[in-house]
Every structure is written in structure tokens, then in C-alpha cells.
Amino acid sequence: MENWWWWCGAKHYGWKEGMGRQTEARTLLHQMVADEVPAEERIFGEGHYLRPQFVQFYKCKNILIQDIKLINSPMWNIHPVLSENITIERLRIETLGPNNDGVDPEACKNVLIKDTYFDTGDDCIAIKSGRNQDGRNIGVASENFIIEGCTMKEGHGGVVIGSEISGGAKNIFAQNLVMSSENLDRVLRIKTSSKRGGTVENVYMRNVKVGKYKEAAVRFNMFYEEEGDHIPQIRNVIVENLQVEDGGKYAVMIDAYEDSPVENFQMINSTINGVDELFKTNHLKDVKFTNVTINGKEVKELVKTEE
């Protein structure tokens, strides 16, 4: 980690004035994406300070990653791209550095993530499908995921979809998870923007036990980073049997476009205790709560709290 983490430019990770950092190269790379520069011409090397992923498969099939431990990745730990038929099981991922996501399948199909322990400096699992023009031009969604039997400790989110999600994501099933940490921000998070676009749909999470989290059990955000001309969509999300002992600021957060509300979100047979406020929401449609208790009281509907 001494060789990589300070490249992010944060003093917390050892960066000091006068040292190199990723900012300039990262900005240039994003501009290359916007300008649709061919990937083979996006060449960065010494002096650019772009941290690599730890393990990356590209356009592969029939991948098995099993019974290993990963510690202190430069950036994302496991990053399959445009790949199919992936099994990731019985891993232990311990890495609290910058952007240290645990498993980030991108534009992948038929993925099983099972019985894995996450203690990460960023999202534990982040499902992706391309950033901005890259994701839209390729147009491959992440689809058909099963996530089960995993334990999440620290991380920005337990199960996350986005933010590089321009190709969309669908048919995501997560069950039998355990999460708890004062530094775990969210249980389920979908993050996107109108710079990204894409549709996230058919997400089903059930049987999740949570000790503590910091911000929200469920958060939908359509204003992550920059805005653009590609309005995203989030629909058909079900959370069932979510049991939280000591929640954070909110139970549910929704920040969506008026013209593209979060549609058909359901919470069923769930109990969330210890939150400061129930909701922080704006635009939603066809939201249903069934047998949901928050802070000891039954909540029958998710209400709009912001104009």
C-alpha cells in the first residue's frame, strides 16, 4: 500500500505537497472518454499516478476465484469486465485504502458471489457497466447476479450498483447477508447520474441482518457526480426481511428526477431500529411498505419529504 495509496492525492494516505497524484491524469482520461478516443490510444504510464486494479479479467468466460485472501489493493480488488459465467466464493478481502472496492463486476453476465468476507475502504460489492460514453457505446448491461452468504464490515456500501452504470443493470438477487460497522455507510445503494444514464431494474434483496450502519439502509441517488443529458431510471427494487439493530441517519434516502422517479420500490417484513429520521426522499412512484417497523412503529408508506 505504501507504493500506491498516496497516489490518490489525499493526505490521509500519505500524500504531501510536491508529490505526484492522480488528479491530472484522471481528468485527462475522463476527457478522452468524452471525446471517444479509442481505448488503445489512452496510454498512461510513469508520471501519471493512475492506480491499477488488483485482479482483472477482460472478455473472459467460465471464471472461478476461490479460497484466497486479498489485502491492500492499489484500487478495486477484483474487476471482471465484459465477462460471463463467474464464480467468486470463500474469499477474504481486507483492504481499507482509497477506492478499495471488494468485487466490481462490470458489464458481466451470470455472476455468483458467495460466502465472502469484505472489510473494504470503499464499496464491498459494486456492480458496474461502463462510464458515460464508453458504457453507452458498448451497451452491455450487468445481468443475472446472485450474491449470498457474504459478510460486510466496513465499506461505503454493502451491495452497490453504480456509479459507472451507463450500460444498465438487471436481475440482481442478494440474500442471506450479514453487515455491521460504524463505518458501513449503506446496506443497499444505487448510484448514478444523468451523465451516466442507463436503467437499473429488477433488484431483489432479502434476509439481511445488520448491526450498525452510518447513513441509510437503502439509498437511491440519481445525482452522483456530474449531471448531463442522459436521465437514468431505477425501478422494480424489493427489499424483504431486512433486520437492523442500530441504524444511522435515515432508513431510506431517494434523490431522483421529477421526470424519472424511483418506481416500484417495495420493503416487506422488515425492522429498522435506531435511525435519526425515517426518510429523506423526493421523487418516487408506486412505492409500497408491507409489515415494516421503524423505530418501534409500523410504517405503512414511504412519504416524500423534500420539494
Cell of 98: 482509497
Cα 248 from Cα 274, distance rounded (Å):
7
Cα 76 from Cα 100, distance rounded (Å):
5
Query: Would residue 79 show up in a list of annotated catalytic residues for this protein?
Result: no
Cα-Cα end-to-end distance for the chain: 44
Cα 108 from Cα 130, distance rounded (Å):
11
Query: Cα 62 to the chain's mean position, in Å?
Result: 24
> From the candidates 104, 119, 122, 185, which is the catalytic residue?
122
Query: Would residue 276 show up in a list of annotated catalytic residues for this protein?
Result: no
What is the three-class DSSP state of 150?
coil
Residue 300 is given by DSSP the state -
Q: Give the alpha-carbon dihedral of 73, 76, 78, 79, to 10 degrees.
A: -150
> From the candidates 134, 156, 185, 283, which is the catalytic residue?
156
Residues classed as catalytic? 122, 156
